[in-house]
Every structure is written in structure tokens, then in C-alpha cells.
Amino acid sequence: MTLSTPELEADRQALIALIKDEAVFHGDFTLSSGKKATYYVDMRKLTLDHRAAPAIGRIVLDLLQGLDGIEAVGGLTLGADPIANAVLHESVRAGRPVDAFVVRKEPKDHGRGRQIEGAEVAGKRVVVVEDTSTTGGSPLKAVEVLRKAGAEPVAVISIVDRKTGAQVAIEAEGLQWLAAIDLADLGLDPQ
């Protein structure tokens, strides 16, 4: 994948270098999907880092360009939260405002009892974002909650695609799949 401008592609290459240097850990890991892996890509280390977050926002905003009428981005808390916020801020800076939302794992048991916080999503075209994808389970949980709330999820964007089935699962739900970086970019093999 190459982004739409040389500046954005430079952002992407700088992000790849940061991930390789600071967010890939080798050892024995259990992923959120329950799968075992000999490396772990800890994107939260970078989605919450001042060097990477603005570039992540610009990269995701660039990926949104091919999708019509997107009004908000977000996903399952915690992984999606900093990405959605980065996109929100970069979209305003770029003059193409996009709102953000957060999908809780469970509805709140107090206050308004909401499961989706932030932008109102009913009747809106939205995109689910996440930091890394293995099976697609987290974004699909967010999609299910969004659909129940009357939103129209149209795509899932992952910063790093582990190439382990997420794309197939997402596309099976009728959603478009976009990823900024895959394992080949990081010099890693699928597990």
C-alpha cells in the first residue's frame, strides 16, 4: 500500500520505522484473540505517543478519502480511542471534520446507560478503527453494537494487519477492509 501523497507516504514510512524500533516485542505472547504468537506488536505504545499519533491521524484520514459520507470514526475501547482522537484532530486541521466515538465493551450501568460515547451515530456512515488486527473480533463487536444503535458501519481500518484472518472476517460482514501497514512492511511473518 502507498498513500496518496509523498508526504503521507513519508509519514507511513516513519511510522513503520517507529513500530520496528519500539513496538515489536519478541517472546511468547497470547493475543486478545487467544492465539499464541512469538512476537507482539504493541501499537498502544505508539498510538499514545506524540511522535506517532499525528501521523496515524493523517494516515487514517487519507484512507478515509475513498469512502463517501463518513461522519465519524471509532471502535472498541481502548485500542480504537487514541486512533479516533488522532483522526478527529487531523480532520479538523485538514478542513474535513470527522467526529469520534467510543464503543464500550458493555453498556454503562449508571447515568444514561450508553454503550457508545461521543458522536451520535444513528443514521450515520461510520468507520471502525483499531490498532492491530488478528481475527477481526474486536472491530466486529464494535460493528454489532453500532448496527444496533442505527449506525451504518462501512469499513474497518487497522493500523497494522497481522494477516491472520481479520480481513476475511470483516469482508464477510459486508464491510470494506483497509490497513495502513502489514507484516511484510515490518519484516515479520504471519503466525
Residue list, annotated binding site for 5-phospho-alpha-D-ribose 1-diphosphate: 104-105, 108, 110, 130-138
Question: Any idea of the CA torsion for 68, 173, 184, 10, to the nearest 10 degrees?
Answer: 20
- Partnered with residue 85 across adjacent β-strands are none
Asked if residues 159 and 180 have their Cβ atoms less than 8 Å apart, the reply is: yes
Cα distance between residue 159 and residue 59, in whole Å = 9
> What nine digits make up the cell of 177?
477492509
Which residues fall within 8 angstroms of residue 41, CB to CB, at 6 or more apart?
19, 23, 24, 25, 132, 160, 162, 186, 188
Q: Using only the alpha carbons of the chain, give its radius of gyration.
A: 16
What type of residue is 105?
A: K
Check: CB of residue 62 under 8 Å from CB of residue 96: no
From the annotation, which residues make up the binding site for orotate?
Answer: 134, 162
Output the known binding site: 104-105, 108, 110, 130-138, 162
